[in-house]
Structure 1
Amino acid sequence: MPATLTLDDYQLAAKSLNTELAVIKAVTEVESGGRGFLTDGRVVIRFEPHLFHRYTQGKFDATHPQLSFLKLKTGYPKNVSQSWELYDEAKVLNLQAARMASSFGLFQILGSNWPDCGCKSLPEFVSRMSKSEAEQLNLFCSFIKNQGLNDELRDHQWARFARIYNGKDFKLMHYDTKLNNAYKKFSV
């Protein structure tokens, strides 16, 4: 099992992003429940069927309706285990689309965002996400800087951050409220 983040890791990231430790911890908790790996050593993922649909132009909607459909369905997949089952099935159909349509690690960064994480390729992104939580944190910091989201984190602009980070449907999952609540918890 890869090592978990240390207090030093969190502090370095907060300094790098010019924000508070509580902010980094809040994003970690909301995105992944504070864990980057399962007990069996696999990275935490969330497979997104509506994104698999997008990256495959709906090619598998009819033959694999559990893997590919047009619109986000809240609560599906229901957990990380189901995400892995769907991902394993989807990667046989189209590995690149399966990776692009999955969020990885502590910070649940979509595979499609690999360039903004400072990676040279999608396989490099997946490999680095699978190494350690510290590597996941490094990728997150690169992503935040390249997306220009430092200010939103520093200024606690949770709705703006969530809209950019989680997408236009962020309100369906109450990401902004969850971030605010987690921040308050870690600020104490």
Structure 2
Amino acid sequence: MPTSLTLADYQQAAKNLRTEVAVIKAVTEVESGGQGFLPNGRVVIRFEPHLFHRYTQGQFDASHPQISFKNLRAGYPTGVLHSWQLYDEAKALNLQAARMATSFGLFQILGSNWPDCGCKSLSEFITRMSRSEAEQLNLFCNLITNWGLDDELREHQWARFARMYNGKDFKLMKYDIKLSNAYKKFSS
């Protein structure tokens, strides 16, 4: 079973991003509930049907409307297990698109972001995400640095961070509010 993050892991990430441990913990909690793996050892994921639609040009919208549709739907998938069911079905249709349309690990990093995480391939990204929460944290730090979002974290610009990190529909899921509240909890 992969190991959980330690305080030293959080401290190193905060040092790398020149921010506070509370900031890293807030993102961890909001993105994944603080868990990078399920009890059975599988990585925590979120399959995104609207992204699968985009990566397959809607090819499966009619035949598989539960895994491919045009617009984001709040509350769908209903959880990690549901995401795994949808992901397993989607990867049987198009492995590359399924991986690209799925967010992985503690920080729910989309597979499509593998180059910005410092990986040489999507397969390397998936392998590293499956190793440990510490590896997931390393990939997150690479992504934040490559996207130039460390300033937003340092300055607690939650809405700007959420828009860049979670996309234009971040308000639908209230990511900025959740990040602010989680930061307050961890910094007190």
Whether the TM-score (by the shorter chain) exceeds 0.5 is yes
SS state of the match for residue 103, structure 2?
A: strand
**Shift in Å, 1:51:** 0.1
SS state of the match for residue 98, structure 1?
A: helix
TM-score w.r.t. the length of structure 2 is 1.00
1:117-128 alignment, distance < 5 Å: 117-128=117-128
Name the counterpart of 2:82. 82
Name the counterpart of 1:178. 178
Name the counterpart of 2:25. 25
**Shift in Å, 1:66:** 0.1
**Shift in Å, 1:112:** 0.3
1:99 & 1:116 partners in 2: Cα distance?
Answer: 15
1:14 & 1:76 partners in 2: Cα distance?
Answer: 32
Write the letter of the residue equivalent to 2:9: D
Listed as ranges, the gaps of 5+ residues in structure 2 are none
TM-score w.r.t. the length of structure 1 is 1.00
Write the letter of the residue equivalent to 1:34: G
SS state of the match for residue 31, structure 1?
A: helix
**Shift in Å, 1:93:** 0.2
2:123 & 2:149 partners in 1: Cα distance?
Answer: 25
Write the letter of the residue equivalent to 2:128: R
SS state of the match for residue 58, structure 1?
A: coil
Name the counterpart of 2:6. 6
**Shift in Å, 1:148:** 0.3
Name the counterpart of 1:162. 162
1:20-169 alignment, distance < 5 Å: 20-169=20-169
2:47 & 2:85 partners in 1: Cα distance?
Answer: 9
RMSD, aligned CA: 0.2
2:123 & 2:94 partners in 1: Cα distance?
Answer: 14
Query: Percent sequence identity over matched residues?
Result: 79
**Shift in Å, 1:80:** 0.1
Number of corresponding residues: 188
SS state of the match for residue 131, structure 2?
A: coil
